[in-house]
Amino acid sequence: MSKGLPKRSENYSEWYNELVKRAGLAENSAVRGCMVIKPYGFAIWEKMQRALDDMFKATGHQNAYFPLFVPRSFLEKEEEHAEGFAKECAVVTHYRLKADPSGKGLIVDPDSKLEEELIIRPTSEAVIWNAYKNWIQSWRDLPILINQWANVVRWEMRTRIFLRTAEFLWQEGHTAHATEQEAVAETEQMLGVYADFAEKWMAMPVIQGVKTPSERFAGAVETYCIEALMQDGKALQAGTSHFLGQNFARSFDVKFVNKENQLEFAWATSWGVSTRLMGALIMAHSDDNGLVLPPKLAPIQVVIIPIYKTEEDLAKISERIDPVMAELKSLGISVKYDDDDKQRSGWKFAEYELKGVPVRLAVGMRDLENRTIEVARRDTLTKESRPIDGVVEHIRTLLDEIQVAIYDRALQFRNANIFPVDTWDEFKEQIEKGGFISAHWDGTEETEAKIKEETKATIRCIPLNSIEEAGKCVYSGAESAKRVIFARAY
């Protein structure tokens, strides 16, 4: 009962689009490149937010909120930053509409032109460092450890729901420090938080690494990232953490008196993950029947479906189920009892499969007699009949098991799809099949660009844990000291 989803093996891209739509996660809006996140999708995002927010606060960060608008002159201040974002940004030029004098409708009132245009934030370094200027005078004011949950806009030409949209939701951490060492430690700490979240909550293994200079965030000294592998063999950058050095402090003139009583520019980091993680979550685990959600992020962890013919039967089943529901809820497990009589149980089974509910319980009249209940797992599509006594304890354990099993499956897949490659022919052959390619690179931007041009593969990252190993660049044959990870990417 796949509700007619396209198969992954036949058309992965169509499968993804249809799944997002049919599972009620999101849809494209009438506004170009902008999406509507529907309640079921948003409930998953809320769970992600809550978990991340707790992790940010546990590492000493506080939330705040900065303006949506970046004055043009602010964006200009950090040159690389400006260059990186100016080409695709929404520009506010006027502040009023008026009735069209030549007919019906509204037109922009030319008298309302702004003296300086405002850019909808594509990211908030400029606005935030302009504010930090007034917050930072002394080393005593540091560190500043702030995070913001916000919407941002990047006028992407080719958009893809969740993965690349003109407007998206994200969090952006922006910290200021008294020393370079502290700022680097913060950058690395937050990368670790993202990796932890990806692995423990999303059940998605990631490679931690640093970007090559050409793939760095505009304005960063170093960009750290986590890279995940999707089921179609393409890579997805799931989060980034940037060490910004003193670039923004210099552009916005943020100086402080250090412990040695000398004026110094503050050291900065920024780090973010976005609703793109929704796309990653979907593509990492789901199958031809629909979503597969790790229990920790599932809005409904357990669904219970009564199988009955008469109202009387339903009443009997409900009576049996009531204490199970209550017990599950008391353990903090989110459970839904679907006794809606407008749909058949077969339809419901398919629907909750599509929606990725990790555990499905079903109870019919025979179960009442036998004091049993059917327990089905979404991840393995297996089911078994169990005594209803003790089933709550079983489910509690089962949810943990499923969380681990989904991660293990993704890890196995990922590990089976990292290919050490040593020749250019091998490289070209492997890249067509997908996966991460671990290969030597000569460290030049030129080689990186040529490989991209010829194969559409990019260097996803230089892994943090990569071993020093003398070798020859897979493209140029020049000397190389370590392998890097290549892939085609979302």
- Report d(CA 51, CA 350) in Å as an integer: 29
- Report d(CA 271, CA 442) in Å as an integer: 28
Amino acid at 256: F
Q: How far is the CB of 313 from its own copies (least distance, A)?
A: 24
User: And the tokens for 182?
Assistant: 């502290």
Cβ distance to its own copies smaller for residue 232 or 339: 339
Cβ distance to its own copies smaller for residue 118 or 399: 118
- Report d(CA 18, CA 13) in Å as an integer: 9
Cβ distance to its own copies smaller for residue 5 or 153: 153
User: And the tokens for 321?
Assistant: 């189920």
Cβ distance to its own copies smaller for residue 117 or 199: 117
Provide CB contacts within 8 A for 417, sequence distance 6+. Answer: 229, 233, 434, 435, 436
Q: Which residues of this protein are in contact with its own copies, per CB under 8 A? A: 27, 29-31, 34-39, 42-43, 45-46, 62-76, 82, 86-99, 104-106, 108, 112, 117-120, 127, 130-131, 134, 140, 146, 150-151, 153, 155, 167, 169, 342
Instruction: Give the β-pairing of 255-257 and 302-306.
Output: unpaired
Q: How far is the CB of 16 from its own copies (least distance, A)?
A: 20
Supply the Cα-derived Rg of the chain in whole angstroms.
26
476 touches 222 (CB < 8 A): no
Q: How far is the CB of 348 from its own copies (least distance, A)?
A: 15
Q: How far is the CB of 52 from its own copies (least distance, A)?
A: 14
Q: Is 46 left (phi over 0), alpha (psi -120 to 50) or beta?
A: alpha
Cβ distance to its own copies smaller for residue 65 or 347: 65
Q: How far is the CB of 149 from its own copies (least distance, A)?
A: 9
Q: How far is the CB of 317 from its own copies (least distance, A)?
A: 24
Cβ distance to its own copies smaller for residue 133 or 316: 133
Q: How far is the CB of 459 from its own copies (least distance, A)?
A: 28
List the one residue out of 224, 231, 312, 311 whose CA is nearest residue 273: 224
CA distances from 437 to 151, 294, 408, 442, 457 (A): 34, 27, 21, 15, 9
Cβ distance to its own copies smaller for residue 46 or 429: 46
List the one residue out of 280, 182, 290, 200 whose CA is nearest residue 235: 280
